[in-house]
Amino acid sequence: MIKSDYLISVRGLHKYHSGVHILKGIDIEVKTGEFLSIIGRSGCGKTTFLRCMNCLEILDEGTIHIAGVTLSRQKSEKAYISRFQRRINDKSHTRSQSKSDNQMLMDEDFRAKVYALRMRVGMLFQNLNLFPHLTVLDNIILAPMKVKNETRPQATLRAVQLLEKVGMGEFTDRYPHQLSGGQAQRVAIARALAMSPQVMLYDEPTSALDPELIGEVLDVMKNLHREGMTQIIVTHSLNIARNASDRIAYMEDGKIIETDTTEKFFTEPKDERTRNYLRLMID
Protein backbone atom coordinates (compact mmCIF):
# COMPACT_ATOMS: atom_id res chain seq x y z
CA MET A 1 0.00 0.00 0.00
CA ILE A 2 1.47 3.36 -1.07
CA LYS A 3 0.92 6.17 1.43
CA SER A 4 -0.63 9.29 -0.02
CA ASP A 5 2.02 11.66 1.35
CA TYR A 6 4.81 9.83 -0.50
CA LEU A 7 5.38 11.01 -4.06
CA ILE A 8 7.99 8.26 -4.56
CA SER A 9 7.86 4.71 -3.25
CA VAL A 10 10.38 2.03 -4.27
CA ARG A 11 10.01 -1.56 -3.05
CA GLY A 12 12.25 -4.58 -3.65
CA LEU A 13 14.08 -2.99 -6.60
CA HIS A 14 16.60 -5.34 -8.26
CA LYS A 15 18.77 -4.68 -11.30
CA TYR A 16 21.30 -6.92 -13.07
CA HIS A 17 23.97 -6.09 -15.67
CA SER A 18 25.59 -8.96 -17.58
CA GLY A 19 24.75 -11.35 -14.78
CA VAL A 20 26.06 -9.02 -12.06
CA HIS A 21 23.57 -8.15 -9.31
CA ILE A 22 23.81 -4.32 -9.13
CA LEU A 23 20.76 -3.35 -7.05
CA LYS A 24 19.80 -5.85 -4.36
CA GLY A 25 16.33 -5.02 -3.11
CA ILE A 26 16.16 -1.24 -2.73
CA ASP A 27 13.36 0.03 -0.45
CA ILE A 28 12.85 3.77 -0.01
CA GLU A 29 10.10 6.39 0.13
CA VAL A 30 10.30 10.12 -0.53
CA LYS A 31 7.67 12.62 0.53
CA THR A 32 6.34 15.34 -1.74
CA GLY A 33 8.68 18.34 -1.58
CA GLU A 34 11.45 16.42 0.16
CA PHE A 35 15.13 16.74 -0.75
CA LEU A 36 16.97 13.41 -0.43
CA SER A 37 20.73 12.98 -0.80
CA ILE A 38 22.15 9.54 -1.64
CA ILE A 39 25.78 9.00 -0.71
CA GLY A 40 28.13 6.03 -0.87
CA ARG A 41 31.32 4.70 -2.41
CA SER A 42 31.81 4.63 -6.18
CA GLY A 43 30.31 1.51 -7.71
CA CYS A 44 27.72 0.93 -4.98
CA GLY A 45 24.78 1.38 -7.39
CA LYS A 46 23.78 5.01 -6.84
CA THR A 47 23.70 6.03 -10.50
CA THR A 48 22.00 2.80 -11.57
CA PHE A 49 19.29 3.50 -9.00
CA LEU A 50 18.69 6.97 -10.46
CA ARG A 51 18.60 5.56 -13.98
CA CYS A 52 15.98 3.04 -12.90
CA MET A 53 13.92 5.86 -11.42
CA ASN A 54 13.45 7.51 -14.82
CA CYS A 55 13.56 4.27 -16.83
CA LEU A 56 16.87 4.81 -18.57
CA GLU A 57 17.40 1.39 -17.01
CA ILE A 58 14.41 -0.95 -16.75
CA LEU A 59 14.00 -2.60 -13.37
CA ASP A 60 14.33 -6.40 -13.36
CA GLU A 61 12.27 -6.95 -10.24
CA GLY A 62 10.31 -4.87 -7.76
CA THR A 63 8.06 -1.81 -7.84
CA ILE A 64 8.67 1.85 -8.61
CA HIS A 65 5.86 4.30 -7.91
CA ILE A 66 6.33 7.95 -8.84
CA ALA A 67 3.61 10.61 -8.94
CA GLY A 68 0.77 8.21 -9.68
CA VAL A 69 2.63 5.93 -12.11
CA THR A 70 3.56 2.41 -10.98
CA LEU A 71 5.99 0.05 -12.70
CA SER A 72 6.06 -3.44 -11.23
CA ARG A 73 7.93 -6.54 -12.37
CA GLN A 74 8.39 -10.00 -10.91
CA LYS A 75 11.50 -12.16 -11.11
CA SER A 76 9.93 -14.45 -13.69
CA GLU A 77 9.56 -11.50 -16.06
CA LYS A 78 13.26 -10.61 -16.22
CA ALA A 79 13.75 -12.31 -19.58
CA TYR A 80 10.86 -10.35 -21.04
CA ILE A 81 12.24 -7.09 -19.65
CA SER A 82 15.63 -7.79 -21.19
CA ARG A 83 14.01 -8.07 -24.61
CA PHE A 84 11.83 -5.04 -23.97
CA GLN A 85 14.72 -2.86 -22.84
CA ARG A 86 16.49 -3.42 -26.15
CA ARG A 87 13.41 -2.24 -27.98
CA ILE A 88 11.93 0.46 -25.77
CA ASN A 89 13.65 3.33 -27.60
CA ASP A 90 13.48 1.67 -31.03
CA LYS A 91 11.11 3.96 -32.92
CA SER A 92 11.17 1.64 -35.92
CA HIS A 93 9.38 -1.10 -33.98
CA THR A 94 5.87 -1.75 -35.33
CA ARG A 95 3.02 -4.08 -34.45
CA SER A 96 3.85 -6.29 -37.45
CA GLN A 97 7.28 -7.00 -35.96
CA SER A 98 5.81 -8.51 -32.81
CA LYS A 99 5.82 -12.26 -32.37
CA SER A 100 2.28 -12.22 -31.01
CA ASP A 101 -0.58 -9.81 -30.36
CA ASN A 102 -0.48 -10.56 -26.62
CA GLN A 103 3.25 -9.83 -26.45
CA MET A 104 2.77 -6.56 -28.31
CA LEU A 105 -0.08 -5.50 -26.04
CA MET A 106 2.19 -6.19 -23.08
CA ASP A 107 4.91 -4.10 -24.67
CA GLU A 108 2.56 -1.21 -25.38
CA ASP A 109 1.18 -1.19 -21.84
CA PHE A 110 4.64 -1.12 -20.31
CA ARG A 111 5.86 1.42 -22.85
CA ALA A 112 2.96 3.72 -21.96
CA LYS A 113 3.84 3.53 -18.27
CA VAL A 114 7.50 4.23 -18.98
CA TYR A 115 6.54 7.26 -21.08
CA ALA A 116 4.20 8.55 -18.36
CA LEU A 117 6.87 8.13 -15.70
CA ARG A 118 9.53 9.86 -17.78
CA MET A 119 7.20 12.83 -18.24
CA ARG A 120 7.06 13.21 -14.45
CA VAL A 121 10.80 12.95 -13.81
CA GLY A 122 13.54 15.37 -14.82
CA MET A 123 17.18 14.37 -14.65
CA LEU A 124 20.43 16.28 -14.65
CA PHE A 125 23.20 14.08 -16.00
CA GLN A 126 26.83 14.14 -14.95
CA ASN A 127 27.93 15.17 -18.45
CA LEU A 128 24.92 17.51 -18.99
CA ASN A 129 24.27 16.40 -22.61
CA LEU A 130 23.57 19.93 -23.85
CA PHE A 131 23.47 20.03 -27.64
CA PRO A 132 26.66 21.91 -28.65
CA HIS A 133 25.21 23.18 -31.96
CA LEU A 134 22.16 24.79 -30.31
CA THR A 135 21.92 28.02 -28.36
CA VAL A 136 20.92 28.01 -24.71
CA LEU A 137 17.35 28.94 -25.68
CA ASP A 138 17.09 26.29 -28.39
CA ASN A 139 18.43 23.64 -26.01
CA ILE A 140 15.56 24.37 -23.64
CA ILE A 141 12.67 24.65 -26.10
CA LEU A 142 13.54 21.54 -28.14
CA ALA A 143 11.92 18.91 -25.90
CA PRO A 144 8.70 20.83 -25.13
CA MET A 145 8.18 21.40 -28.86
CA LYS A 146 9.00 17.83 -29.91
CA VAL A 147 7.47 15.89 -27.01
CA LYS A 148 4.67 18.12 -25.73
CA ASN A 149 3.85 19.72 -29.09
CA GLU A 150 4.19 23.24 -27.72
CA THR A 151 4.45 26.06 -30.24
CA ARG A 152 7.74 27.91 -30.45
CA PRO A 153 6.28 31.05 -28.82
CA GLN A 154 4.83 28.95 -25.95
CA ALA A 155 8.08 27.08 -25.38
CA THR A 156 10.15 30.25 -25.67
CA LEU A 157 8.09 32.11 -23.07
CA ARG A 158 8.48 29.24 -20.61
CA ALA A 159 12.20 28.91 -21.38
CA VAL A 160 12.88 32.60 -20.74
CA GLN A 161 11.03 32.36 -17.41
CA LEU A 162 13.09 29.34 -16.38
CA LEU A 163 16.36 30.93 -17.42
CA GLU A 164 15.49 33.92 -15.25
CA LYS A 165 14.72 31.54 -12.39
CA VAL A 166 18.19 29.95 -12.58
CA GLY A 167 19.98 33.26 -13.13
CA MET A 168 20.73 32.73 -16.81
CA GLY A 169 18.28 35.17 -18.39
CA GLU A 170 20.99 37.08 -20.26
CA PHE A 171 22.50 33.99 -21.90
CA THR A 172 19.74 32.88 -24.29
CA ASP A 173 21.84 33.36 -27.45
CA ARG A 174 25.04 31.77 -26.19
CA TYR A 175 26.24 28.28 -27.08
CA PRO A 176 27.30 25.66 -24.51
CA HIS A 177 31.01 26.16 -25.21
CA GLN A 178 30.63 29.83 -24.22
CA LEU A 179 29.41 28.95 -20.71
CA SER A 180 31.28 28.18 -17.51
CA GLY A 181 30.66 24.85 -15.81
CA GLY A 182 28.25 26.37 -13.30
CA GLN A 183 26.37 28.23 -16.01
CA ALA A 184 26.04 25.08 -18.11
CA GLN A 185 24.69 23.18 -15.09
CA ARG A 186 22.05 25.85 -14.50
CA VAL A 187 21.01 25.74 -18.16
CA ALA A 188 20.71 21.96 -17.91
CA ILE A 189 18.46 22.34 -14.85
CA ALA A 190 16.29 24.84 -16.74
CA ARG A 191 16.06 22.41 -19.65
CA ALA A 192 14.85 19.64 -17.36
CA LEU A 193 12.33 21.97 -15.70
CA ALA A 194 10.93 22.93 -19.11
CA MET A 195 9.12 19.58 -19.17
CA SER A 196 7.34 20.49 -15.89
CA PRO A 197 8.53 17.43 -13.93
CA GLN A 198 7.24 16.59 -10.47
CA VAL A 199 10.60 15.09 -9.45
CA MET A 200 14.16 16.20 -10.19
CA LEU A 201 17.07 13.74 -10.11
CA TYR A 202 20.73 14.83 -10.06
CA ASP A 203 23.69 12.56 -10.74
CA GLU A 204 26.83 14.13 -9.25
CA PRO A 205 25.91 17.57 -10.63
CA THR A 206 28.83 19.40 -9.00
CA SER A 207 31.60 16.81 -9.33
CA ALA A 208 33.35 18.60 -12.21
CA LEU A 209 32.89 22.15 -10.88
CA ASP A 210 35.36 24.42 -9.16
CA PRO A 211 34.41 25.11 -5.53
CA GLU A 212 33.30 28.69 -6.27
CA LEU A 213 30.84 27.45 -8.91
CA ILE A 214 29.22 24.77 -6.76
CA GLY A 215 27.32 27.41 -4.82
CA GLU A 216 25.64 28.65 -8.02
CA VAL A 217 24.12 25.24 -8.70
CA LEU A 218 23.31 24.56 -5.06
CA ASP A 219 21.41 27.85 -4.80
CA VAL A 220 19.16 26.79 -7.68
CA MET A 221 18.40 23.48 -5.95
CA LYS A 222 17.64 25.25 -2.66
CA ASN A 223 15.25 27.63 -4.45
CA LEU A 224 13.46 24.68 -6.04
CA HIS A 225 13.26 23.06 -2.61
CA ARG A 226 11.61 26.17 -1.19
CA GLU A 227 9.10 26.04 -4.05
CA GLY A 228 8.20 22.45 -3.14
CA MET A 229 10.05 20.45 -5.81
CA THR A 230 10.79 16.85 -4.84
CA GLN A 231 14.51 16.25 -5.45
CA ILE A 232 17.00 13.38 -5.18
CA ILE A 233 20.72 13.98 -5.57
CA VAL A 234 23.53 11.44 -5.81
CA THR A 235 26.67 13.08 -4.48
CA HIS A 236 30.07 12.36 -2.96
CA SER A 237 30.03 15.74 -1.25
CA LEU A 238 29.07 15.51 2.40
CA ASN A 239 28.83 19.32 2.47
CA ILE A 240 26.12 19.30 -0.19
CA ALA A 241 24.30 16.48 1.56
CA ARG A 242 24.50 18.29 4.89
CA ASN A 243 23.53 21.75 3.59
CA ALA A 244 20.79 20.90 1.09
CA SER A 245 19.02 17.75 2.26
CA ASP A 246 16.07 16.94 4.46
CA ARG A 247 17.22 13.31 4.60
CA ILE A 248 20.27 11.29 3.63
CA ALA A 249 20.50 7.68 2.47
CA TYR A 250 23.74 5.71 2.57
CA MET A 251 24.20 3.00 -0.08
CA GLU A 252 26.67 0.14 -0.06
CA ASP A 253 26.93 -2.93 -2.30
CA GLY A 254 23.61 -2.30 -4.05
CA LYS A 255 21.61 -1.79 -0.85
CA ILE A 256 20.40 1.19 1.14
CA ILE A 257 22.04 0.64 4.51
CA GLU A 258 20.59 3.55 6.45
CA THR A 259 18.29 6.53 5.96
CA ASP A 260 17.71 9.33 8.43
CA THR A 261 17.21 13.07 8.80
CA THR A 262 20.29 15.08 7.94
CA GLU A 263 20.98 16.03 11.55
CA LYS A 264 20.63 12.52 12.94
CA PHE A 265 22.51 10.96 10.04
CA PHE A 266 25.68 12.87 10.94
CA THR A 267 25.28 12.92 14.72
CA GLU A 268 23.69 9.52 15.42
CA PRO A 269 24.43 7.06 12.58
CA LYS A 270 23.01 3.68 13.57
CA ASP A 271 24.85 1.24 11.31
CA GLU A 272 28.55 0.48 11.69
CA ARG A 273 28.99 0.60 7.90
CA THR A 274 27.60 4.14 7.85
CA ARG A 275 29.90 5.17 10.68
CA ASN A 276 32.92 3.73 8.87
CA TYR A 277 32.05 5.60 5.68
CA LEU A 278 31.57 8.91 7.51
CA ARG A 279 34.88 8.47 9.34
CA LEU A 280 36.63 7.77 6.04
CA MET A 281 35.10 10.80 4.29
CA ILE A 282 35.54 13.24 7.17
CA ASP A 283 39.10 12.15 7.93
DSSP 3-state assignment of 231?
A: strand
pLDDT of residue 89: 53
pLDDT of residue 98: 38
φ, ψ of residue 100 to 5 degrees: the values are -155, 155
Length of the chain: 283
Q: Decide if 280 contacts 238 (C-beta within 8 A).
A: no
Please determine, for residue 84, whether its predicted confidence score (pLDDT) is greater than 90: no
Q: Count the neighbouring beta carbons within 10 Å of the beta carbon of residue 118.
A: 18
| 242-253 average pLDDT score | 95
Please determine, for residue 96, whether its predicted confidence score (pLDDT) is greater than 60: no
Cα gap 170→260, rounded to integer Å: 40
Of 1, 51, 54, residue with least CA distance to 23: 51
pTM for this one? 0.86
| Per-chain mean pLDDT for the chain | 87
Alpha-carbon distances, residue 91 vs 80, 86, 87, 271 (angstroms): 19, 11, 8, 46
Please determine, for residue 9, whether its predicted confidence score (pLDDT) is greater than 70: yes
- Give the model confidence (pLDDT) of 15-73 as tens digits: 998 889 999 999 999 999 999 999 999 999 999 999 999 999 999 999 999 999 999 98
- Give the model confidence (pLDDT) of 208-226 as tens digits: 788 878 888 899 999 999 9
Contacts 24+ apart (CB under 8 A), 221-230: 221/35, 221/189, 223/165, 224/193, 224/200, 225/33, 225/35, 228/32, 228/33, 229/33, 229/199, 229/200, 230/7, 230/8, 230/30, 230/31, 230/32, 230/33, 230/34, 230/35, 230/198, 230/199, 230/200
| 119-146 average pLDDT score | 92
Of 140, 134, 179, residue with least CA distance to 156: 140
| 135-161 average pLDDT score | 96
Antiparallel, parallel or unpaired: β 255-261 and 247-252: antiparallel
φ, ψ of residue 52 to 5 degrees: the values are -70, -30
pLDDT of residue 102: 40
pLDDT of residue 165: 94
Please determine, for residue 80, whether its predicted confidence score (pLDDT) is greater than 60: no
Q: What is the 3-state secondary structure (H, E, C) of 96-122?
A: HHCCCHHHHHHHHHHHHHHHHHHHHEE
Q: H-helix or E-strand containing 186?
A: helix 181-193
